[in-house]
Structure 1
């Protein structure tokens, strides 16, 4: 009996130690900081990392309506269809084991995050999978959504996985956005591309917000409730995020479910909308993924889903389920762990998960082509 009690006590203590391996900040509390030297981080080099982030602000206008219209001026029919917000300056946080070892800028300011929103949208699919609302990501989306969105010889082949990996080649129009008009090729005649036969689903990745918005629309109908509500109830409240974040759709993106009009949100912000959130809440979301979907002692999203989400797709080794992966490929950060994965958005918004170093990195308004150099400098500081 004594041996059994000793065993149970030992297991309990081990569980407590595991649960305390990472620090999880309480809601509205001051996020606890640690001296970088406690983790053998070179403070001089770490300061140089922060200085680099502050010195390499995104060069686009702080008036994001101007930045968006300029950034996507090549797209036919492009216009602002959802909310926007003037942005702040560079901001960021670097977490080690959940503790802040560096931060800069206004980390409580709410700003747009553009395609960082896609990784939140991926998580809505993960929750649906965890709860059995979606049986398998290999299922055809048309088996769940029968209103014509996935009808026809081409669109009927599309699976949830195709949508999540951005290789669905979905063809059509949603909320006034035409799939062929999103991010046109830089060479050749756009009319040739407009009438080009869609590629076979699952064979070619095309970064396309219209198709991502189709995924958001489909998930709204699977959940039968607005996705911001799903996110709040299942994730954001549980990770004790602030009450300041918002997830917007286009002004006219309404759909009726069970007799109730619901807003279908966007997976990005290049026509407005998407996730509006502060740096600290982004860091909380990143910390949840660093800890394999567990916040304190509560499993919010399954480890199995995260493993699926960060598995490279066949057409693009650097992309999983709306998460970028640091695998060997066109977007590989040379010299850094291939286990790093991250959310990325227009204007230099990033949530970087580095499991090998127990780190989460959030940057806001870093010139996008500087993120690889930024991460290399950080790697030098921690090693």
Structure 2
């Protein structure tokens, strides 16, 4: 009798999960705000706010990048760029589109939102047992000189994911110390700085993110865009228009084949180029804790792990930002997490409310207010 009860409960849970709406590859249904329990006036206000607060930087992103990182020594573009479009976005509630604005099919650079896609390939490697634990030292998986030495040999996968490794070196001609150097000091101060114990200090650094990408390619032994496409993007019905680029010189030979190490952002060009709609599908996958229809594409455990705050910086998880600590948005729940990129690119995920917000080319300082307006529509 007890066994029958358990089977009934399992079936009930399965039916409840499958009852959730998911878009098909060819169709994504919309509902009015009121149909999903939101105030239409509040959603309209949030959309208008996003459209009225366009990113103030250049639409020629080559210029925007070079101007923004001009103080970095030796900074140059090494990967492709693309001129951007105007403001665009989507609000997804209970799987349905309740608002969209701008050209949601346009493919644009997404800069450091790429890091959350990169993190996903790490999660898949953990799920598959290619990485036994994020606490493992990377040197045990990547046996060239990338992680040699007293300092670099201590670095774990978690340190790389949380940007607390203080990895020291150069990759593809880019030096770790030249990426976002301290405001104080000069070149020699940055070059010969005292290294910090892995895990003890947070530093946003694209060179070290690319070290993670390089390390994951060594583990997967096939291109990361292929992993992402086969395991995530195709199953969620993403378009075929997205691309993931590295640099002109970020090629390596693995198993007799040339493969590109893709970049974790657009700091030097490259990264993920993608549409708003494909971002929204990706966000919905995480809002549903890795499940798409009846398939667990990435483990629910990983969707919890990415929300693990770095001990050195509460606002950062596994290449997702957390609404906690010094970077939190006032008046919004702490369970929110989000991907963020240069120029005002965001994917905001709320598992508890089954809500996803995607914005493109929003003035970055205005994201908190825009999201607050969406939450005001819940009152």
TM-score, normalised to structure 1, is 0.96
1:28 equivalent in alignment to 2:26: yes
CA positional deviation for 1:10: 7.0
CA positional deviation for 1:198: 1.4
SS at match of 2:327: coil
1:331 equivalent in alignment to 2:327: yes
CA positional deviation for 1:15: 2.0
The structure-2 alpha-carbon separation of the partners of 1:55 and 1:134, relative to structure 1 and needing over 3 Å to count, comes to same
User: Contact 1:28–1:242 at 8 Å: present in 2 too?
Assistant: no
Gaps of 5+ in 1: none
CA positional deviation for 1:40: 2.6
Q: 1:233-272 to 2 correspondence within 5 Å?
A: 233-272=230-269
Q: 1:1-383 to 2 correspondence within 5 Å?
A: 11-21=10-20, 23-29=21-27, 31-327=28-324, 329-383=325-379
CA positional deviation for 1:177: 0.6
Task: Give the distance between the partners of 2:157 and 2:256, measured in 1 at CA.
Answer: 26
CA positional deviation for 1:39: 2.4
The structure-2 alpha-carbon separation of the partners of 1:140 and 1:51, relative to structure 1 and needing over 3 Å to count, comes to same
Task: Give the distance between the partners of 1:24 and 1:194, measured in 2 at CA.
Answer: 50
Task: Give the distance between the partners of 2:287 and 2:351, measured in 1 at CA.
Answer: 6
User: Contact 1:337–1:356 at 8 Å: present in 2 too?
Assistant: no
Aligned-residue CA RMSD in angstroms? Answer: 1.5
Task: Give the distance between the partners of 2:62 and 2:6, measured in 1 at CA.
Answer: 61
- Alignment deviations for residues 59-87 of structure 1 (CA, whole Å, 9 cap, x no partner): 01111101110111111100110010011
Task: Give the distance between the partners of 2:13 and 2:205, measured in 1 at CA.
Answer: 46
CA positional deviation for 1:189: 2.7
User: Contact 1:26–1:240 at 8 Å: present in 2 too?
Assistant: yes
TM-score, normalised to structure 2, is 0.97
User: Contact 1:347–1:365 at 8 Å: present in 2 too?
Assistant: yes
Gaps of 5+ in 2: none
User: Contact 2:178–2:190 at 8 Å: present in 1 too?
Assistant: no
SS at match of 1:357: coil
